[in-house]
Chains A and B, each alone.
Chain A
Amino acid sequence: MGTGDPFGMPVTHIVTAGMGGMRTTGDLVAWLQMTRRMKLADAKAYVAKKLGIDLMDLVDEDVMYPLRKELGIGTVTPEAGGPEGIVAKSRVADLLGIEINSVKRFKAQME
């Protein structure tokens, strides 16, 4: 992104063009760019296939809020005791079939 005040910079970019993070599938698509070097279209297609949804559903809150709750991969409005943080990331790694460094190190400490 870049520098500037939070309202002018991240808020505006996120509202204008962002995928919506945990509100939808922004974090999931980002993981594919980071771990598989996938371009945007390929990453979106990969996530949609893994979730069994259409491409347009990737940014639809009406689809993704219940689906994220069902999968236990975290929402922006968490329920107390529900999966979030490293637990949610662990499930994301399994769901997408990727290695997440923090999850790998966390699991190694649990063994």
Chain B
Amino acid sequence: MSNSIFTRMGDGERVSMSPMEIRDEIRQGSASAAEMARIPVLSDSESDELFDIIAEPGRVVSVPHGHELIVTDDGIAECFAGSEADGGSGVSISRPASVLSYERALAADTGSLGHSDYSFKPVKAILDVELQAYHTISMLTTVPLFYGSQPNMGQYFQPDGPYPNPADLMPAGKIKEAQKAQEDAAEQLCADMVYIGRELNAMGCEGFNFDTAGSTGDAEFYATLKAARQLKQHAPDMAIIIGMASEFVLGMHGEIAFDGQQLAGLFPHDQVKLAESVGADIFGPAINVDTSRSFPWNLSKALTMVKETVARAAIPVHPNVGMGVCGIPMLLEVPIDCVSRASKALALIGKADGL
């Protein structure tokens, strides 16, 4: 074993650490997750397994035969054709060409489609365009095809939307007014998401992805859960993924509850039970990366939360593993050494059903 092991920081910077330093980072990362979420730390054998994965000398690593999992995506399938700031390749090809390339050239387990803004509010205005695009592509694809979008409730507040902005109201001490604005926006967001989902279902949509749910806090998560329940009751043949925005639900409202459960502060192992209860078929936890901490620290923290979430879940769990979540450094061109190690560790130690 080398005394200097190559790894990275959470912002992607290349660093070398001794085996003892890496083991210490693993221990501290897991302890941090356990303390925050009030869950068990990784066991000694799991920490040893994670150390072995991080210390493997190869540039990329992989799971042993028989430990493969399902890979779902969130708009990545069409990113060859897009110029999105979070990973688009900017190639001048069509959306169908991109998705079919993803299915056949990359051998993806599933594919997806989504508006380039990737938020429900702008989708509503051009829904017919999206319905036609999805329908055309779904006639050509063989793997399951999702339609994904973000609730992104922030777009419903002034100046972009009709409701007073809580970010203006709260500093002025208008807490009740800020809560009311979020409650009103959540109801409109829910109505829009249900409308879009029902139209997609009627067209033949195979799967619907509520991506990055809760990015505007607990009221947005409330709207997502309410919409998912209504959609699942109306459209049982359309699979639903609920993927989260962060490791705990931000209390921007602070008091809003769903089925009697206060949403602010919920961690993934509790979020998944609510997702299950509304009929979601797959749940995607998102564990934040601290860019000032090391990759071993961040991955250990993510594994501690994912493992507990999978253990409590009755539905498949697909952790979000893009840049800045679940151990992946916050870097647009993500380092493959870290991505492959996170992938392997989430499969073997996190016991994820997919990514």
Contacts and interface: CB of A to CB of B under 8 A. Distances in A.
A, B bound: yes
A37 B137 CA distance: 24
Given A3-B86, A40-B70, A9 B63 contact: no
A17 B69 CA distance: 6
A80 interface: no
B205 A30 contact: no
Which range holds the interface residue count of chain A? 35 or more
A110 interface: no
Contacts of B206: 34, 100-102
Interface string B89-114: 10000000000001111111110000
Task: Classify the secondary structure of A's interface with B.
Answer: helix
A37 B334 contact: no
Contact of B323 (A2, A16, A59): A2
B71 A4 contact: no
B344 A99 contact: no
Contact of A5 (B70, B89, B107): B89
A3 B69 contact: no
14 contacts: A1-B322, A2-B325, A2-B326, A6-B89, A8-B334, A9-B323, A16-B62, A18-B107, A21-B110, A26-B70, A27-B143, A56-B66, A102-B139, A105-B203
Given A10-B73, A19-B70, A26-B70, 18 more contacts: A1-B72, A4-B331, A4-B339, A10-B106, A12-B340, A15-B62, A16-B62, A20-B107, A20-B109, A22-B143, A26-B68, A30-B70, A33-B281, A33-B316, A39-B313, A39-B353, A40-B70, A77-B104
